[in-house]
Copies of this chain bind each other. A is one copy, B any other.
Amino acid sequence: MASDGFRPLDEKSLLDYIRSTPSLASKLGNQLDDLQVKEVGDGNLNFVYIVIGTAGSFVIKQALPYIRCIGESWPMTKERAYFESRALREHGRLCPEHVPEVYHFDRTMSLIGMRYLEPPHIILRKGLIAGTQYPLLAQHISEYMARSLFFTSLLYHTTLEHRKEVAEFCGNVELCRLTEQVVFSDPYKVSEYNRWTSPYLDEDAAAVREDDDLKLEVAQLKSSFCERAQALVHGDLHTGSIMVTQDSTQVIDPEFGFYGPMGFDIGAFLGNLILAFFAQDGHANQENDRKDYKDWILKTIEETWNLFRDKFFALWDEHKDGPGEAYLPAIYDNPKLQLLAKQKFMTDLFHDTLGFGAAKMIRRILGVAHVEDFESISDDSRRAKCEQQALHFAKMVMKERRKFKGIEEIVSTIREIHLKSKGE
């Protein structure tokens, strides 16, 4: 490690680092006495420090050359910090309201200095477990997705710019490989990393490993993930990668960022909301049956997709004579054809979204990394019942996704599965 100039920091050496880095020191008004430094990395991969001074604050995120939650036995390139900084800056440029500003990036140290998202910002997933409503969430996240995906696709890029960016982000291959393994492979085979609520889900896990139709679908999704450079996706847009307050929605942690299919991001977000929905019965108690909250989650799912579609179409209309080379105005030269082109594009994207969303749900129930939504349900049998509903829904949607015409049909399917399960 020493040979390339990289050294892992701790709370003490971080202070020396800040002192010798003007772009960081200036963010603290150069008042470097009495700094509060706190390591808070509760994610799976990195070390994260909050640094608060009397005249300013920031967050320092450092990638180590392995996966933090597993240890040095699972090496992982620290170059991921470079791609995270690239994605943060690109998405931040396109959607500054919903991406924290990057103040400093040090490639040698795999270290990013960025805006500290002050309280009451919390991880969205924790808010969903607590049963907190975020009335602007659908509005904000649809804005982030529409802008980050539209402007990095061939609807806005020239093919020259696009291939240049694609080539650069091909360098983030190791993180892509991690996704390939844990999302598209491990849940469908015997793997030492897989786990599930046993013995309750033993048969469900075995059924997935023997479901030929499901395996054919997941092969197609994996192929699209590996081959299709449609837009600069966040690559890990679950509810743990979003921080929220009542007024603010901030997307963090795009270290899995690469040029991939748009539906991978939208599906990750919606799939994790659906997981949150099916987990609610595990959080219900005598004081709060979570009925209203479940309705709010379903409303947010519906609004997110519909707002995304509307915002994406609005960007398309606004920039139809712009640099994008996918639909040249001289060819797509009448309003009827433009509408048909948009509808065809959006139908395909909807089906991609459902497929990727389903894959993300399945892996969170049967794969290596589970979600706190379910993990925080302490009773195994109660948790298993929630997980089984989610798994049933996800399997069906992955296989039948091309039959769904709109998000309303998805929401009513979720309701049906949930009601049926409660009736049994």
Contact = CB atoms under 8 A, between A and B. Distances in A.
Nearest to A180: B159
A2 interface: no
A190 interface: yes
B219 A341 contact: yes
B189 A160 contact: no
Interface string A174-195: 1011001000010011100000
Interface string A205-220: 0000000100110011
Interface in A155-177: 159-160, 162-164, 166-168, 170-171, 173-174, 176-177
A154 interface: yes
A403 interface: no
A341 B189 contact: no
Interface in A207-257: 212, 215-216, 219-220, 222-223, 226-230
B226 A331 contact: no
Greatest chain B CB density within 10 A among A174, A331, A336 is at A331
Interface stretch (A303-311, A322-330, A359-367): A322-330
Contacts of A336: 212
Contacts of A167: 166-168, 170-171
B229 A326 contact: no
A391 B325 CA distance: 25
A325 B185 CA distance: 10
A189 B328 contact: yes
Interface in A327-373: 327-328, 330-334, 336-337, 340-341, 344
Copies in the complex: 2
Contacts of A171: 163, 167
Contacts of A212: 334, 336-337, 340
Nearest to A218: B331
A159 to B, nearest CB: 6
A229 B225 CA distance: 11
Given A154-B226, A219-B326, A173 B159 contact: yes
A341 B341 CA distance: 30
Contacts of A340: 212, 216
B160 A177 contact: yes
8 closest residue pairs by CB, A with B = A167-B170, A189-B330, A163-B173, A163-B170, A167-B167, A212-B337, A188-B331, A189-B331
Given A180-B325, A215-B332, A215-B341, 12 more contacts: A163-B176, A167-B168, A188-B331, A189-B330, A212-B336, A212-B337, A216-B340, A216-B341, A216-B344, A220-B344, A222-B326, A227-B228
Interface of A: 154, 159-160, 162-164, 166-168, 170-171, 173-174, 176-177, 180, 185, 188-190, 212, 215-216, 219-220, 222-223, 226-230, 325-328, 330-334, 336-337, 340-341, 344
